Amino acid sequence: MTKTKILISTDSAAIHTGLAETCRLVFSDLLARYPDKYEIHQQGWFHVNPSEQVPWQIYNTNVKQTANGMELDPDDRYGQRSFEGLLAKIKPDIVWTNGDLWCFEHLLNSPNRNSFRLAAYYTIDGAPYFGGWLQPNKASEWGNKLLKADRLITLTEFGQKVLSTGCPELKDKKIDVIYHPMDMSRFRILDKDQRVNERKKLLSSQVPPNAFIMGWIGRNQFRKQNHKMWEVLHYMRYGDYIECNHCNRITVKEWDWCTQTSINGTYRYEAGYDYKQCWYCKSTDVVPGKPIDDFYLWQHMNAKDPGYNVSVQQRMWKVEDRVIVSGQDNTSRGIPPKVLAELISTWNCMIYLTGGEGFGVPAFESLMSGVPVVYANYSSHADFCKYGGLPVRVGEFVPEMVYGIHRSVCDTGDAVKQLLWAYRNQDELMNLGKNGRMFAMTKSVTAITDQWHNLFTEMMADPIPQQGNKALYAQVV
């Protein structure tokens, strides 16, 4: 029986990134369960310092001689130059890619595009999504390009909806949704006592083992809106807000970052507003917030990423002694996945106020650990966090400068409200976490690989474009 030959084009399966893990999990399982059906090859992006073994050959992108020795050629970072040679050598039935559009655009525009079937697995992290130009109801820059994929797959329903509503060309195109696969075996769910015991191994004596810890994993970068965590932590720690008994909303007090005191309305509220009534419903049935002494933030990130200045931000909000920062200084190296999973399981909840995510692997890993997520209610991660989390309203949107993709900035008061609920209802919070885990368990590697197997089988039912008589891809000048 002839095997379906697949050429993967994404992060090398041998390194530790989200893209690498997806590829490693899916295709390892595919080969293990269908050894007679598939032959796998990979052009691996960033294939340096490989630390994982996979049962297929990984081909480097180009390297070049520099003053520092042999290094990856930046002009061939995603195989823009070397892909065609590999394509001619391997002659795959299907090319599978996973990344951002600029990473696989050369596949869409390949002069040999009609000689292979292309499955583009694509992350959408915000809306609108059309590129540098849009003719409403007619055409868009990115829709025009994405149309050249035989199959388009997004990681969540958010991405599917954004693409089909934002790009007129994709309105009628079938867009599949396949979740990121999860290796269930490394995740554990802890009860209260187990959590305390684990924390005793991890935490210094200055942090009580039964403290409330909200955790976070990610890069230190604008899109992640890291600053919101320190801000929210401030209000939880110092209680400088009012709680309305009428509408249940939280009105946070304005904070002067220099004098380090709360102030009456100046910028956020009308001048002179003195917090004697709820800002939202104007009720006077309000109570002041209370400081919480055992509330902590654990951030697992590379603090040296060129993002927010961590020490400045913490100091502005006066929360230095409530933040634990872990994480290596090389983002692509990471820590072993099992160790990370163990860390997550020690938290009370994850705080995920990101401005936009293509999927949100850390949030999903949190659900896997039975740890509920307090999450920004926008973008891909919201699709699954709703099964095991507390949504935080978007307060405002900030568009990216070039393409206008909106990043959410969550409403601080709503975030505080949800965290207060979490802190005050810790038993119910644990149940919420268990519910999230039950949903996450449906996205096992086997379940996800079955979806891919079905998709590849469907693709192979049609000939490659140059052999069929239905559709062709062309280059337009």
Partner 1 sequence: MKYSHLSLTWFGDITSCSGAAYYARSILEPLIRGGASIKLEPANFGAPQLELSPWWTDTLNRLVQSQPGYIKINHCSPEQVTANVLGGPNVLLSTNSVTYMFPTNWNGLVNRNHSEVIFPITLPDYLTPGVSIPKHVLPIPVQEVQNSELSKLTINSIPPNTFVFGYFGPWNQVSNIQDLITAYVSEFSTNDDTTLVIKTAGSAGADANQKAHIIELVKRIKGTVGKPDHPPVTVIQDVLSDSTVSALINRFDAYVSTDRGSHFNVTLARCLALGKPCIAPEFGAGGYYKKILPGDTRMLRTIPCFKEPVTSHPGGNPQDRWGRIDIDAAMKFMRLTYNEVKSNDKIFQKHSQKTIDLMQAEFGTEVVADKLASKLASLMPFKPMVLGK
Q: Which residues bind partner 1 (CB under 8 A)?
A: 84-85, 88, 110-115, 144, 147-148, 465-477
Rounded-to-10 torsion of CA 354, 360, 361, 363: 60
Nearer to partner 1 by C-beta: 23 or 146? 146
Nearer to partner 1 by C-beta: 175 or 432? 175
Nearer to partner 1 by C-beta: 291 or 463? 463
CB of 115 to partner 1, least distance (A): 6
What string of H, E and C letters represents the secondary structure of 48-71? CCCCCCCCCEEEECCEEEECCEEE
CB of 153 to partner 1, least distance (A): 18
Question: Which of 357, 399, 404, 365 has its CA nearest to residue 381?
Answer: 357
d(CA 129, CA 169): 12
Question: Which of 67, 99, 54 has its CA nearest to residue 80?
Answer: 99
* Tokens linked to 263: 């102030």
CB of 88 to partner 1, least distance (A): 7
Nearer to partner 1 by C-beta: 258 or 476? 476
Handedness of CA 312, 315, 317, 319 (dihedral sign): positive
CB of 189 to partner 1, least distance (A): 47
**CA atoms within a 13 Å half-sphere pointing along the CA-CB vector of 66:** 9
Nearer to partner 1 by C-beta: 147 or 202? 147
CB of 429 to partner 1, least distance (A): 49
CB of 5 to partner 1, least distance (A): 15
CB-neighbour burial class of residue 316 (10 A; exposed 0-12, middle 13-18, buried 19+): middle
Nearer to partner 1 by C-beta: 147 or 177? 147
Q: 328: Cβ–Cβ under 8 A, 6 or more apart, which residues?
A: 302, 334, 335
Rounded-to-10 torsion of CA 404, 386, 358, 119: -120
CB of 138 to partner 1, least distance (A): 8
Nearer to partner 1 by C-beta: 107 or 250? 107
CB of 137 to partner 1, least distance (A): 12
Residue 401 vs residues 92, 359, 405: alpha-carbon distances, Å = 38, 22, 8
Question: Which of 78, 106, 88, 89 has its CA nearest to residue 9?
Answer: 78
Nearer to partner 1 by C-beta: 3 or 89? 89
